[in-house]
A and B are shown apart, each in its own frame.
Chain A
């Protein structure tokens, strides 16, 4: 009897939700605006879209309600999912697999076939893994929501682009310089926002990011504006260019010249850069400054009263996060050979933030997995040509990328605010729980 009424009430609530959905969908989904031949806007009627939306909401809401009913308070999920041996071996196995990935692909698919896998999947994902880990220091560890992270990525990219085209400096000199510049900018922009509380800080960093991108767009003498900087020197193998010439990489090592060599080198380069970011973060978390970050994330006022210097703590987080973005930026410039302000918009910041949020703020593995799912997922979406046959030829799956990102951010905050891998254990803790004797605490055991 009780189950029946609950199903009835779930039905009623789903019907209400689908009614609301129909109301929401009425103008914006049911009527599309199209240009006719004389460039006038005309309406295109597509009431079926509205019905589909209402139906989907009905089914979705009903399922959520029914599933929520059956669940009793869920037992807390154990923090470690894998047995200790697997957990110990897994990271190194993963790194070895990543190092072997381009070679396996090369032998399996040949130079032509593997290019897509190494470039679109490998390099592209690793850039975002690195950016995600960099932002993770600021957002995940120090708890400072930075919405202008892409500004430091831009500083790195333009540092390399300008230094190499104007002064002829090589990539290997520019890479540390780009990191330094970005870190300096991070500290500089971090300084004024120190006193601000969480959401104000987010908005000010957003404003800084927009100012940097507006200056890059409009200050044509400096950055060549929207047109961007072209013909940035490509990466060399520590001085040996990846060309077919006699002193090129291929000729020196007695290999047949192939364009894929450069891509494979770029893959290893970004892999090493990303691993450096990871290792530095892991080590820092065990140092006093890293512990201070995590303490700051949990409670700023408590931190201050315990004598932690919040100014230095926040500034180091900003500067270090920015430095890794600077490295990634100069890698981006050397990979593309071309930079313009379009690559450094707010949407880019939002993408990186979405990766950190979905992966679980503070979790290294989670951020890496989120980058794989989101960036790799974009590439997969692009290749699903059969969807074009279902939804018509004008269907462009990559348009749905940001739509899904946004939705995922909202759902994540509701269901798993700590992220997919929600292991936010403190880095340093007592190995054994100790009971403090009753003289030291007031009630019970501490």
Chain B
């Protein structure tokens, strides 16, 4: 029982991070029908940016309040990662609209390789550890086999994710920008005819996706206390799995898929074998795509000729 509760807490925390990344995949797929293979590496890049900003404000400016530092890091990482993804879309994906079917995917794979190796070259191949932050824990139960703990970090992660998802939901559902975005998703030509600037809407989709990935990156950096240039690939594929499982193109689906993948991964490691936890995630990806390509909440796709 204790074990189950503890794994549930850990799984939801991990799932929140996956859900944030998955939104980036699902939004881009919804609007231009492209698997943004580089999104996992954008996430890794954002974790590095967060790390550097954190070191800069604590070492150069001597900010000592951890809460304030975290807030500054979060905002800077969101802004800078958004700029990166905006530039990536401009350079690597926009010229390929109307090229052959697989061109954007190949370009995204190239971009993914480029980003991972770029970070390796400029920041070095070694793990970058940070001293632990927000180390306090709350004892949920005590007196059993072991105490079930809920750390402040985990509360922070789930809390920040929840608040940002609400803000994001408001943005997509209630603002003019969100309306334009949903219109482009349904029919790009028609939206353009009705005066929606499709190019800038697509750019904004990338910017929003990157900002959410940057939140995930900052939280990831803080939660695990270590980042590496190769950290983009596996979380990226898992978040893509989450997006597919929830139904690609569906925003609530991405969050639900993220939570499911986080829970499956944690429980799989706890009860079966941690060696094969990646195999579990990759198998879910393959099985979902083969047997249930529209996922839990997605619309079935009809190919028109």
* A interface, CB within 8 angstroms of B: 20, 23-24, 26-29, 31-35, 39-43, 49, 143, 145, 147, 192-193, 195-200, 202-204, 206-208, 210-211, 214-215, 218, 301, 346-347, 350, 353-354, 357, 399-400, 402-403, 405-410, 412-414, 417
Complex contact A399–B121 (CB within 8 A)? yes
Complex contact A145–B105 (CB within 8 A)? yes
Please name the 5 residue pairs, one residue from A and one from B, whose CB atoms are nearest each other, closest first.
A409-B110, A406-B114, A406-B113, A403-B117, A413-B107
**Inter-chain contacts of A203 with B (CB < 8 A):** 35, 240, 244, 285, 289
**Inter-chain contacts of A24 with B (CB < 8 A):** 80, 83-84, 87
Q: A20-B83, A210-B237 are in contact. Are A41 and B289 (CB under 8 A)?
A: no
**Inter-chain contacts of A35 with B (CB < 8 A):** 126
Complex contact B113–A199 (CB within 8 A)? no
**Which residue in chain A gives the minimum CB-CB distance to B41?**
A406
Question: B270-305, CB under 8 A of A: which get 1 and which 0?
Answer: 000001101100110110011001000000000101
Complex contact B110–A354 (CB within 8 A)? yes
Q: How far is the CA of A402 from the CA of B55 in the complex (A)?
A: 28
Complex contact B111–A410 (CB within 8 A)? yes
15 contacts between A and B (CB under 8 A): A23-B80, A27-B52, A27-B53, A28-B48, A28-B52, A33-B124, A41-B55, A43-B55, A193-B290, A203-B35, A215-B279, A402-B113, A403-B121, A407-B110, A417-B96
Give the dominant DSSP class at B's interface.
helix
**Which residue in chain B gives the minimum CB-CB distance to A305?**
B305
Q: What size tier do the contact residues of chain B reach?
A: 35 or more
B residues 64-116 touching A (CB-CB < 8 Å): 76, 80, 83-84, 87, 91-92, 95-96, 99-107, 109-116
Q: A43-B56, A214-B278 are in contact. Are A301 and B303 (CB under 8 A)?
A: yes
CB proximity of B199 to chain A, nearest CB, Å: 16
Q: How far is the CA of A192 from the CA of B240 in the complex (A)?
A: 19
Cross-chain contact of A41 among B34, B99, B128 (Cβ < 8 A): B128
Complex contact A43–B60 (CB within 8 A)? yes
Complex contact B123–A208 (CB within 8 A)? no
Cross-chain contact of A409 among B101, B113, B119 (Cβ < 8 A): B113
Complex contact A301–B305 (CB within 8 A)? yes
Q: A417-B99, A417-B100 are in contact. Are A192 and B117 (CB under 8 A)?
A: no
B59 in the interface (beta carbon within 8 A): yes
CB proximity of B59 to chain A, nearest CB, Å: 6
Known pairs A28-B123, A43-B60, A200-B293 / 6 extra A-B pairs, C-beta < 8 Å:
A34-B124, A39-B129, A199-B101, A199-B105, A207-B237, A410-B92
**Inter-chain contacts of B105 with A (CB < 8 A):** 145, 198-199, 202
**Inter-chain contacts of B106 with A (CB < 8 A):** 145, 353, 357, 409, 413
